[in-house]
Structure 1
Amino acid sequence: MFKDLYSPLHQLQHPTRTQIQVKRDDLIDPYVSGNKWRKLKYILETAKSLHKNHLVTFGGAYSNHLVATAAVCAKAGLKSTAFVRGESVHNEMLLLCRLFGMELIFTGRESYKNKALLFEQHFGALENTYFVDEGGASPEAVTGCAEIIAELPDDTEHLFCAAGTGTTAAGLLKGIQERKLKTLLHVIPVLKGGDFIADEILKHTGSTEQLVLHTEYHFGGYAKTNPALIEFIKRFIKEEGMLIDPVYTSKMFFALDDLLSKNYFAKNSKIIALHTGGLLGILGMKDKLL
């Protein structure tokens, strides 16, 4: 599955961004794009090695992870189920999940907090089911994301990524460490109070010496926006011909633009931004973008 991985490096074209190349993980697959395939790759291998044929996972009603898991399971001939946080709703994302064959179980926000208990109550007696945490967070996901580093030039000085839980960032830093590179990893937390991400990354890497957190670009918190960010998204897409999403990549590119305007980087620094996909998230904010 995805043996011929398509994730090229693209140079940004706007005069203010010509220092930046973008690692286009968003092009891997329309529905399993960006860091989603990186995270699920080894989860899928582990599940198969344990003779599990049913993946059970978790997410919100506009979760890219749910769509990716549903699509991966359909491609692999596996069954998929998701506990969806909140009341029963119908939207474009959940339609895709259902089309890929995923069963949806809508779950109250309080009971959703204990994912292990939910899994045990519904599927604990079934030997063929495999627990996949929200967003695919797992050691396997970290391993998959670490492989990105081998696909980048060794002389990359600055690597940028957006972060929710920090799993992708942990994998990137692990890959940098394993290859003994001098690259600095710049992480843009999309949640308010994102300093906790450093601790999450440390659990997987043992050191955060080459980590730089930029915590001031959350725009109010997870999936929060303001008019400045919405205007930036529209302008960026028009200037670069590249879609970005309101939840993750837009905040990363906004941060990069801001840092460039402040002469944060040395002249001719080699900068790469990881496009982590998630473009279906645009559907959840289409009214704001119209």
Structure 2
Amino acid sequence: MFEKLYSPVEKLKLAAFNNLFVKREDLIDPYISGNKWRKLKYILAKAEAEHKNHLITFGGAYSNHLVATAAAASRSGLKSTAFVRGEKVTNEMLLLCKLFGMDLIFTERESYKDKFALFEKHFKFDVNAYFIDEGGASTEAVTGCSEIVDELTDVYDHIFCAAGTGTTAAGLLDGIVKNNLKTKLHVIPVLKNGNFIKAEIVKYVPNTENLILHTDYHFGGYAKTTPELFKFIKDFTANTGLLIDPVYTAKMFYAVFDLQRNKTIKSDDKILAIHTGGLLGIFGMKDKF
């Protein structure tokens, strides 16, 4: 399942930038999209090596990770179960999960905080059960995401990515460090008070010399938005033909534009933005467009 990869680098033609490129991770797969493909690649390999055939994971009701895990499991002949944070709901994302054969366990928010306890309570005696953390956070996921940098044929002054757990960012930083690049990695946390992301990255990659964290582009917090962000999405997509989502990639691209306006980065600098996919998240905010 993870043998074929299509993730080209494309140049965006925008008046404000001479050298803005995007790595189209969103084109890898419609359901195992972008960084989710990268994260699951070695997670599934480890599950297979341990002879586990039941993937157990966690996420919110609009989680791209849940859809990706469900799709990956079905294509690999595996079972999958997800603990879904919050009250029982029905939406487009969870419909896809069910169609891919995933069982859903809706979990009240307080219990959801202790994921290992949930796993132990429900699957302690299931010898085939394999724990996958929320968002796929793991050493295996970092290894998969580091290959994004390994694939690059050009060198960039700056690489930008959005961050929820920091796993993708850790992988990108690992790729930069191991390839001895001088590239600066700009990480855009999509949550309020996103400084914790650095500590999460350091768990995997202690060398943060090339890391720059921008914590002012969360637009209110995780899955929070503003009219300004929605206007940016509509203008950006109309001008580039590139779809972006309100939760992750829109906030990252907004940061790129704002930092260029503020002269933090120069218009002539060679910039690579990582499009991490997750476009199904648009459905969670369809009424706002």
TM range (shorter): over 0.9
Q: Contact 2:18 / 2:267 at 8 angstroms: preserved in 1? A: no
Q: 1:44 maps to which residue?
A: 44
Q: SS at 1:205's partner residue?
A: coil
CA contact (8 A) 1:11 1:18 kept: no
* C-alpha distance in structure 1 between counterparts of 2:267 and 2:21, whole Å: 15
Q: What residue in structure 1 maps to residue 21 of structure 2?
A: 21
- Following superposition, the deviation at residue 2 of structure 1 comes to 3.5
Q: Which residue of structure 2 lines up, in the alignment, with residue 259 of structure 1?
A: 259
The answer to whether the 8 Å contact 1:154/1:181 transfers is no
Q: Residue type matched to 2:283 in 1?
A: L
Per mean C-alpha deviation after superposition, the further-off stretch among 254-263 and 115-124 is 254-263
For residue 119 of structure 1, what is the aligned residue in structure 2? 119
State TM-score, norm by structure 1: 0.98
The CA distance in 2 between the partners of 1:236 and 1:138, in whole Å, is: 33
Q: Which runs of 4+ in 1 moved over 3 A?
A: none
| 3-state secondary structure, aligned to 2:55 | strand
CA distance in 2, matches of 1:18, 1:279: 26
Aligned equivalents of 2:104 and 2:116: distance in 1? 17
State the Cα distance separating 1:270 from its structure 2 match.
1.0
Of all paired residues, the percent bearing the same amino acid is: 66
Q: CA deviation at 1:255?
A: 0.5
Corresponding position of 2:286: 286
CA distance change for structure 1 residues 120 and 8 in 2, over 3 Å: closer, same or farther? same
Give the aligned partner of residue 91 of structure 2. 91
Q: Distance in 1 between matches of 2:55 and 2:25?
A: 23
Change (3 A) 1:267 1:253: closer
CA distance in structure 1 between the partners assigned to 2:268 and 2:96 by the alignment: 43
Q: How far is 1:269 from its partner? A: 1.3
Equivalenced residues, count = 289
Deviates further, 2-11 or 133-142? 2-11
Question: Secondary structure at the residue paired with 2:192?
Answer: coil
Distance in structure 2 (CA, Å) of the matches to 1:59 and 1:8: 29
SS of structure 2 residue aligned to 1:191:
coil
Q: C-alpha deviations, 1:26-75, integer Å up to 9, x for none?
A: 00000011100100000000000000000000000000000000000011
1:53 matched residue in structure 2: 53
Mapped contact 1:138–1:167 kept (Cα < 8 A): yes
Which shifted more, 256-265 or 158-167?
256-265
Q: d(CA) in 2 for partners of 1:248 and 1:18?
A: 24
In 2 relative to 1, CA 124–112 (structure 1 residues): closer, same or farther, beyond 3 Å?
A: same
SS in 1 for 2:16: helix
Aligned partners of 2:7 and 2:28 also within 8 Å = yes
Q: 2-side partners of 1:46 and 1:229: how far apart? A: 39
CA distance in 2, matches of 1:223, 1:17: 28
CA distance in 2, matches of 1:192, 1:263: 24
Q: Deviations over 1:70-126 (max 9, x none)?
A: 000011010000000011110000000000000000011111111101111111101
Distance 1:156 1:25 in 2: 17
**TM-score between the two structures when normalised by the length of structure 2:** 0.98
Paired residues for 1:1-290 under 5 Å: 1-266=1-266, 268-289=268-289
Cα displacement (A) at 1:267: 5.0
Deviations 1:207-230 (A, max 9, x none): 111000111111111011001001
